[in-house]
Amino acid sequence: MTSRFWAAGVLAVLLVALITVAAVLVPWHRPPAPRADQLAALGQLPAEQVARARAFHSALRPPAYAGLAVGLLAALAMGLTPLGAGIVSLAGRPFGGNWVARAVLGGLAVVLVVEVVTLPFAAWRHTVVVRYGISTQSWGGWAVDIAKSFAVGAVIGGLALLGFYTVVRLAPRWWWAFAAAGAAGLVVLLSFVVPVLVEPVFNKFTPMSAGPLRTALLELAERDRVPVRDVLVADASRRTRAVNAYVSGLGPTRRIVVYDTMLSQATPDEVVSVVAHELGHSRHNDVRTGTVIGALGTAAGVIALFLLGSWTGLLRLAGVASIGDPRAIGLVLAVATVAGLVGGPAQAFVSRRIEARADAHALELTGDATTFEAMQDRLGAVNLSDPDPPTWEYVWSASHPSTVERMAAARAYARGER
Ligand SMILES: [Zn+2]
């Protein structure tokens, strides 16, 4: 009882901290891009470009939503029926039911089943992105990528499972406290190490070669007072024609990455505009904000899971006696999947606000609304983004403002509206 009392108290504190951090660090109040400017921008885009982007997204929806539904059903089947517990027992059997085998092999087996069930939908999606000329990957390359992400997931997931169930065994009543701290620590650690340990598994990163563009970008960073040692180029063209840039890592591992496709498709001025947006993320410490919110949210999630573990009806459905039993991993997966789906729109909302702030930063830094708008137009055209997506889909999942919103923001900026 004492442990549960403390867990509820700490959960309340974490939720208050989460709300406070989000209230302070997320730019909630941004003037919306004027709709009239959005419609004007939309009207100026070539009709066939808009139609093709919309056809692309219509073709993507069936695999995306069917895959989501099947993945959810599979996770629920693992957690709300004894299926998951059975798989964990089976994985432990060759090892005499040893708890490490159950926790690591059993846990990975349950996740793998859900992944494999949704694989056909990922393959279906691949046929669409190839048909529309976005992906340049053969089935071989696609399969290698999937195998690599399974392997990375197995290493990180295996270590997390081992750590979690070790703590549960050592502190059967207070594991929530150690597990919450450990999970938050893992989120922070991953923010540091993913750019140097995980991203290179999928792409090769090379410093942008010396020349006027590199000099211009480093000068831009200096003018923005953002310490940038290097701008890296990723060999994205090995799998996609899409163009992108991003900033990842924290402190010593912070880097700005530009896709090589961007360098071949966009004008140097447009690359400057994109990098100015990425500098906005650095300047406002957006990776740090995401990491802090992620760490607090993950810790809160672990404690909520502990408290949920006293719901005997749920345990009975899963055929387990305790949420801390490795055989309950299917239940944990089901809860996490539902939480991810429910939290998705909130996450997307926060992301859009942060992206809009980075756009505003790019406009301020370059003072070049014309190039910014041309860059958004090109980004949308090359990536086949729906320039003005349906509201429900935008609210559900859009991580960035729409193309017409971003073009409209540039038009408002050019008129002197800040
Ligand atoms: Zn961004």
> Model confidence over 375-412: pLDDT tens digits?
999 999 999 999 999 999 999 999 999 999 999 999 99
Q: What is the structure's pLDDT at 119?
A: 97
Instruction: Report the separation in Å between the CA atom of 399 and the middle of ligand 1, taken as the mean of its atom positions.
Output: 9
Instruction: Report the separation in Å between the CA atom of 286 and the middle of ligand 1, taken as the mean of its atom positions.
Output: 9
Instruction: Report the separation in Å between the CA atom of 111 and the middle of ligand 1, taken as the mean of its atom positions.
Output: 30
Length in residues, the chain: 418
Cα–Cα distance for residue pair 374/390, rounded to 1 Å: 23
Tell me the mean pLDDT in the region 132-144. Answer: 96
Q: What is the structure's pLDDT at 364?
A: 96
Instruction: Report the separation in Å between the CA atom of 205 and the middle of ligand 1, taken as the mean of its atom positions.
Output: 19
Instruction: Report the separation in Å between the CA atom of 279 and the middle of ligand 1, taken as the mean of its atom positions.
Output: 9
Give the global pTM.
0.93
Q: What is the structure's pLDDT at 193?
A: 92
Instruction: Report the separation in Å between the CA atom of 358 and the middle of ligand 1, taken as the mean of its atom positions.
Output: 6
Token duo for residue 352:
């859009």
Token duo for residue 313:
């009806």
Q: What is the structure's pLDDT at 252?
A: 83
- pLDDT over 70 percentage in the chain: 100
3-class DSSP state of 368: coil
Q: What is the structure's pLDDT at 227?
A: 85
CA dihedral 381, 357, 342, 125 (to 10 degrees): 20
Cα–Cα distance for residue pair 199/254, rounded to 1 Å: 13
Mean pLDDT (the chain) is: 95
Instruction: Report the separation in Å between the CA atom of 278 and the middle of ligand 1, taken as the mean of its atom positions.
Output: 6
Estimate the crossing angle of helix 286-308 against helix 175-193, to 10 degrees. Answer: 150
pLDDT tens digits along 2-27: 999 999 999 999 999 999 999 999 99
Instruction: Report the separation in Å between the CA atom of 107 and the middle of ligand 1, taken as the mean of its atom positions.
Output: 34
- Band of residue 32 on the pLDDT scale cut at 50, 70, 90: confident
Closest C-alpha to 298, from 18, 7, 5: 18
Strands 245-248 and 205-207, bridge-based pairing? unpaired
Cα–Cα distance for residue pair 312/135, rounded to 1 Å: 47
Q: By the 8 A CB rule, do 38 and 317 touch?
A: no
Token duo for residue 209:
């070669």
Residue 418 has pLDDT above 80, yes or no: no
Instruction: Report the separation in Å between the CA atom of 347 and the middle of ligand 1, taken as the mean of its atom positions.
Output: 14
Instruction: Report the separation in Å between the CA atom of 350 and the middle of ligand 1, taken as the mean of its atom positions.
Output: 12
- pLDDT over 90 percentage in the chain: 93
Q: What is the structure's pLDDT at 1?
A: 61
Instruction: Report the separation in Å between the CA atom of 5 and the middle of ligand 1, taken as the mean of its atom positions.
Output: 41
Strands 231-234 and 205-207, bridge-based pairing? antiparallel
Q: By the 8 A CB rule, do 303 and 17 touch?
A: no
Instruction: Report the separation in Å between the CA atom of 401 and the middle of ligand 1, taken as the mean of its atom positions.
Output: 10
Q: Which residues are near ligand 1, the ion (C-beta closer than 5 Å)?
A: 355, 358
Sign of CA dihedral 135, 204, 265, 220: positive
Residue 105 has pLDDT above 70, yes or no: yes
Q: By the 8 A CB rule, do 105 and 158 touch?
A: no
Tell me the mean pLDDT in the region 166-182. Answer: 96
Instruction: Report the separation in Å between the CA atom of 371 and the middle of ligand 1, taken as the mean of its atom positions.
Output: 17
Q: What is the structure's pLDDT at 30?
A: 81
